[in-house]
């Protein structure tokens, strides 16, 4: 199922928030049947991965209990796993949720804390022997937007990710199973998010596939003066295209069908000798 040929094309991760309070679609898919219908729609639209998250990570989001996160995530993974044949990732910072989700059928762990919130995350993922996505963040969703003071945003992201890759490998995770994410919108302001997209190529030196998640983010809303996240699809398209042209291997998006077209054209420009 996990058959990624890095560099051949851009892969699309479709967002499936099973939360009542996510910033753009909170409450829409937090029942198993509605989540299943959305997962099927994402897969039909061209998603290569479905990313299931039970804990909102929007700025200011309240932390829920592990029990509540498990209840949200496991019920959805169990109902969608038999129905879709593409990888499922679990968006969690909890090693307990990661372990239970993989045992329920998830294939990838997506940790927005880069392994910093739960000291057992690396050893757990090593024992599960699944890919791990490490994202850059400062603080947590309650505090991160007060922590945007960087001397050099890309250098500091790179240093953090290199440190976390080193810890992950030391814990037994195979390096080829690590994917990195610069964390657009997480402890970053408008200009820093744009700088990440401009300088994304610099993260290639870490020798890991790069995931970028620009979808419907507030920096796009600021540029467009668009308060409605769902009306940011074309801004997301522009940011996704920039990310692909600067080296992104995976784009994490809500609007999969539209971004499939964007990624196909961007790939044709970026990778003229490759084919889908």
Q: Is the pLDDT of residue 22 over 90?
A: no
Identify whether 83 is a catalytic site residue: no
* Edge-to-edge strand ranges of the sheet holding 178-181: 178-181, 132-135, 108-111, 88-91, 49-53, 11-17, 250-253, 211-212
Give a yes or no: residue 127 inside a domain. yes
Q: Print the domain residue range for 164.
A: 11-209
Percentage of residues of the chain with pLDDT beyond 90: 82
Residue 223 lies in a domain: no
Which entry of 199, 216, 232, 252 is annotated as an active-site residue? 252
Where residue 166 sits, what CATH number does that domain have?
3.20.20.20
How far is the C-alpha of 119 from the C-alpha of 186, rounded, in Å? 20
In a domain? residue 149 = yes
Specify the higher pLDDT residue, 189 or 26: 189
In the chain, how many domains are there?
Answer: 1
Please check whether residue 139 lies inside any domain of the structure.
yes
Domain assignment present for 226: no
What's residue 16's pLDDT? Answer: 94
- For the chain, how far is it from start to end, CA to CA, in angstroms? 17
Give residue 25's pLDDT: 46
pLDDT digits (tens, 9 = 90+) for 215-259: 999 999 999 999 999 999 999 999 999 999 999 999 999 999 999
- Tell me whether residue 252 is one of the annotated catalytic residues: yes
Q: Which of 138, 177, 199, 217 is catalytic?
A: 217
23: confidence class by pLDDT, cuts 50, 70, 90: very low
Q: Would 261 be classed as within a structural domain?
A: no
Residue 71, domain member (yes or no)? yes
Domain contains 192? yes
Give 66's contacts (C-beta < 8 A, 6+ positions apart).
Answer: 94, 96, 97
């Amino acid at each position: 199922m996990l058959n990624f040929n890095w560099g051949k094309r851009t892969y699309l991760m479709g967002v499936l928030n099973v939360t009542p309070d996510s910033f753009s679609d909170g409450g829409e898919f937090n029942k198993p049947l509605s989540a299943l219908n959305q997962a099927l729609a994402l897969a039909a639209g061209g998603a290569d991965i479905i990313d299931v998250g039970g804990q909102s990570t929007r700025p200011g989001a309240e932390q829920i209990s592990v029990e509540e996160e498990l209840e949200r995530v496991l019920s959805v993974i169990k109902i969608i796993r038999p129905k879709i044949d593409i990888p499922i990732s679990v968006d969690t910072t909890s090693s307990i949720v990661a372990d239970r989700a993989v045992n329920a059928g998830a294939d990838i762990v997506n940790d927005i804390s880069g392994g910093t919130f739960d000291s057992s995350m690396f050893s757990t993922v090593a024992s599960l022997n699944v890919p791990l996505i490490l994202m850059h963040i400062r603080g947590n969703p309650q505090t991160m937007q007060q922590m945007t003071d960087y001397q050099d945003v890309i250098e500091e992201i790179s240093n953090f990710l290199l440190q976390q890759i080193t810890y992950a490998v030391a814990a037994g995770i195979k390096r080829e199973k690590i994917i990195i994410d610069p964390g657009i919108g997480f402890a970053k302001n408008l200009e820093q998010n744009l700088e990440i997209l401009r300088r994304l190529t610099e993260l290639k030196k870490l020798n890991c596939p790069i995931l970028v998640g620009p979808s419907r983010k507030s920096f796009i809303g600021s540029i467009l003066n668009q308060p409605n996240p769902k009306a940011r699809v074309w801004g997301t398209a522009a940011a996704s295209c920039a990310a692909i042209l600067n080296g992104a291997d995976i784009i994490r998006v809500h609007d999969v069908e539209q971004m499939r077209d964007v990624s196909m054209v961007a790939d044709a420009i970026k990778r003229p000798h490759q084919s889908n």
